[in-house]
A and B are shown apart, each in its own frame.
Chain A
Amino acid sequence: MTHGYNFAYLDEQTKRMIRRALLKAVAIPGHQIPFGGREMPLPYGWGTGGIQLTAAVLGASDVLKVIDQGADDTTNAVSIRRFFARTAGVATTTVTTQATVIQTRHRIPETPLRDGQIMVYQVPLPEPLAKLEPSRAEAARMHALAEYGLMQVKLYEDVTRYGHVSISYDYPVLANHRYLMSPSPIPAFDNPKLHMSPALQLFGAGREKRLYALPPWTEVRSLDFDDHPFRATRAPQVCGLCGAADSYLDEVVIDDRGSRLFVCSDTDYCAGRQEAGHGG
């Protein structure tokens, strides 16, 4: 462990402040709670919100998994995992089922989560209305009144113009029938995993200094219309390494003729399937 800093880096007063905000967030699913976010030793945009939440929940007996783009070995995931290994001395894992706390950027693991696990999402823009109403003060007023017509109109315009909603990631959801919420920039493919998840899901936005939560078993509906229901899409191929036909795929350019290989974005899921004898 790194000496000179408190367990998991943050001082206890800051942890208390974040913990209090997290408890409120759990009590009001999807509602963004302002918190006194601190500067972290990693830049804003690298996951400082998620890191602060993880630091506030993490204990010595936790097992931490960190993924970025679904992969454990992307450089930022490696960097954040090392940060907590150094400052908290916690055990880390790449295996989804072994983790008690999973910090993620842009993906939800393919392996179903279970009761007792905590997902921590890194969130760049927690305000789902930001692209329609840049003033956060005005957006807060709209949340207070549950006045989400602006978003419905935007989606409906998509449907009339393109035949369907054109949002492919960070697809807005309604949490517990009340708050419009950003699921963070996960692909829309992952949205159904938010709904009635057995895991506790925490969302941290460091630069914007907001946090919010979805308790386990909470209804999370991706906005849609009766005649244009929400569709989770993925590349139609199967994984070239493990043959999975149900996982989200990365498209990799493998030669200078532009040949493509489609492989699972979730490296743990893919490795597990390969070990079990599945092939591409």
Chain B
Amino acid sequence: MSLDLPGFADPVADAQATFRSVLDALAHPGRIAAAGTALAAPPSLHPATAAVLLTLADGDTPLWLPPAFAAARDWLAFHCGVPFVATPAAAAFALADDLPAFDQFGSGSDVAPEDSTTLILQVAALGTGAAWRLSGPGLRTPETLAVTGLPDDFAARWASNHALYPRGIDLLLCCGRTLAALPRSVSVQEG
């Protein structure tokens, strides 16, 4: 029973530190930041994923949780008070282990492009694996991010999301106690 697991040891300081990691990662696409360093995550969640949700999710952020994460459901309900939604399009946050189709998520409206889903994808490795070349805001010059766990056609799939800009989803990649981010503003090429 995952409810036995505590949340952050220091809820205020740990949430602040995790937020700054996510902020740093989104502001510098592809930069790998630490998150959930001392956190015991419930089954099916990487510590970084658990830390991000403890930091950002609450009663105001509907979460789309596929069945593969059933073992984390009680923990998330207890520690975040997050409501679960069956429709991905209504989710503020969505969790996945395999890259789902982007078009099922909320991409915001022209007036409020921020009303979109943030997808948290757990991957096998960050820093090793297939290389992706990133460019856009946050990057002085194009940078490379290596990921194990993204599909081969990721660049094409991301391109369809990026084409919606300023609408679109933002992607957080979590692996173990690290994370990286791809905001909708970034372009991705096979590297």
Residues of A bordering B, CB below 8 Å: 6-7, 12-13, 15-17, 19-29, 31, 33, 56-60, 140-141, 143-145, 176, 178-179, 196, 198, 200, 214-219
Q: Is the CB of A31 within 8 A of B166?
A: yes
Among the stretches B18-26, B39-47, B62-70, B151-159, the one at the interface with A is B18-26
A56 to B20, CA, bound (A): 10
Partner of B23, one of A23, A141, A217: A23
Shortest beta-carbon distance from B46 to chain A in Å: 19
A145 and B113 CA atoms in complex are apart in Å by: 12
Question: Could you tell me the distance in whole angstroms from the C-beta of B81 to the nearest C-beta in chain A?
Answer: 10
Which residue in B20, B56, B111 is a CB contact (below 8 Å) of A57?
Answer: B20
Contact, CB under 8 Å: B183 / A196: no
Contact between chains at B114 and A196 (CB < 8 Å):
no
Query: Is the beta-carbon distance between B184 and A28 smaller than 8 angstroms?
Result: yes
Contact B183 A19 (CB under 8 A): no
Q: Which 8 A-B pairs have the closest CB atoms?
A: A27-B183, A144-B110, A24-B114, A215-B138, A218-B137, A217-B140, A144-B111, A59-B16
Does A28 contact B113, Cβ atoms closer than 8 Å? yes
The answer to whether A23 and B170 touch (CB under 8 A), given A176-B185, A200-B23, is yes
CB of B16 within 8 A of CB of A23, answer no
B49 on interface, CB distance cutoff 8 Å: no
Alpha-carbon distance between A145 and B12 when the two chains are bound, in angstroms: 40
Contact of A200 among B27, B139, B140 (CB under 8 A): B27
Evaluate contact between B58 and A60: CB separation under 8 angstroms.
no
A31 to B16, CA, bound (A): 24
* A22/B28 contact (C-beta < 8 A), A28-B113, A31-B113, A217-B137 known: no
User: Shortest distance in angstroms between A21's beta carbon and chain B's nearest beta carbon?
Assistant: 7
A112–B66 CA distance with the chains assembled, in angstroms? 46
List chain B residues, Cβ under 8 A from A13.
58
User: Does B13 touch A at the CB level, under 8 Å?
Assistant: yes
- Complex Cα distance, B12 from A25, in Å, reads 22
Shortest CB–CB separation between residue B95 and chain A, in angstroms? Answer: 16
A186 to B16, CA, bound (A): 29
CA distance A64 to B62 in the complex (A): 34
A28 CB to nearest B CB, Å: 5
Residues in chain B within 8 A of chain A (CB atoms): 11-13, 15-17, 19-20, 22-23, 26-28, 55-56, 58, 60-61, 92, 109-111, 113-114, 116, 118, 137-140, 165-166, 170, 183-185
Q: Are B26 and A26 in contact (CB under 8 A)?
A: yes
A23 near B118 with CB under 8 A, answer yes
**Contact between A27 and B12, CB atoms less than 8 A apart:** no
Nearest opposing residue in chain A for B139, CB measure: A217
Partner of B166, one of A20, A28, A196, A200: A28
What is the bound-complex CA distance between A196 and B117, given in angstroms? 28
Supposing A23-B26, A27-B26, A144-B111 touch, asked if A16 and B12 sit within 8 A by C-beta, the answer is no
Smallest Cβ distance from A128 to chain B, in angstroms? 16
List chain B residues, Cβ under 8 A from A29. Answer: 137, 185
Could you say which residues of chain A place their CB within 8 Å of the CB of B26?
Answer: 23, 26-27, 215
Q: Is the CB of B137 within 8 A of A215?
A: yes
CB atoms of A196 and B12 under 8 A apart: no
The CA-CA distance from A23 to B24 in the complex, in Å, is 10
Interface contact B55-A16, CB-CB below 8 Å: yes
Q: When chains A and B are docked, how far (Å) is the Cα of A276 from the Cα of B130?
A: 50
Contact, CB under 8 Å: A19 / B56: yes
Query: A21 and B114 in contact (CB under 8 A), knowing A57-B19, A59-B20, A176-B185?
Result: yes
Q: Quick one: closest B residue to A178, CB to CB?
A: B166
Q: Which residues of B contact A21 (CB under 8 A)?
A: 114
